[in-house]
Structure 1
């Protein structure tokens, strides 16, 4: 008999969006234990620290129920998945452009560890245009992000923009 099926959903979650929440809700249904892996990405300029993102993601997923953990990691995804005992990596897709990148990453990850499968979930149609990068840009220019992030995250983004300063003002 095999153990519980564990899935990992990696991302920077800077900030967590309604699209992320949709993938977390749906991905958690596919496994016995779901691990949201909050990571750094050297190619991105984070608005929030890893600690802040961990706290935000933990707060937001608390209402979902089920066995969901939120863990920071700063390593190769396949090493992280292995350390969590995961057999599945969940990735969200918004558009064809996402697929090309994700397809390449899944192939590389398969070469690194063929015991872990990548599962792609299409974002809800209403949430497909949402990207953290765009949410940050909209917020930094004083735009309204209420349609894109959970309610409590709106205040955190506003507070951060006040701290770092708006662009174009």
Structure 2
């Protein structure tokens, strides 16, 4: 019997974007079980509370086929990613890369994690060209200034952003 491969996809997801969802979909081709881990990082001053971010992620994956939804869990975490990955028995950490500028930070983190836990691999998934420029921080800025974010996030996230910023 084959060993189940569990992947962790960590992030702040404030809010989850179309780019994040692309990484989720592609990750499901690589792992048997995917744990989406919204990080509890109050230092970043998130727009959405942890509970809201969890709800948003669950709302967005609700549109996936049942077989895929059954393979995804959303588990928030605090502290070191490598400890969280061990706790959920992950063999893989999945990170999305948008541009070369992401790579420097991500490779440092991957190397540190490999030193602390050599049995857990980090996999980088390059964003497709239509998602390379999407960043949660930019989406929030556009929404805050009254711009249309509908092409960068799901309809559900778009509505939540409008509600957050009092836009009609």
CA contact 2:59–2:156 (8 Å) conserved in 1: no
Query: 53-62 or 38-47: which moved more?
Result: 38-47
Q: How many residues align?
A: 163
CA contact (8 A) 2:38 2:53 kept: yes
1:13 maps to which residue? Answer: 13
Offset, 1:47:
0.6
Partner residue of 2:130 out of 126, 130, 140? 126
1:19-168 counterparts in 2 under 5 A? 19-65=19-65, 66=68, 67-162=71-166
Q: TM-score, normalised by structure 2?
A: 0.93
Secondary structure in structure 2 of the residue aligned to 1:119: strand
Kept after mapping to 1: 8 A contact 2:8/2:92: yes
Mean Cα deviation higher: 101-110 or 64-73: 64-73
Which ranges in structure 1 are unaligned for 5 or more consecutive residues?
Answer: none
Is the Cα contact below 8 Å between 2:7 and 2:33 reproduced in 1? yes
Report the Cα offset of residue 71 of structure 1: 0.8
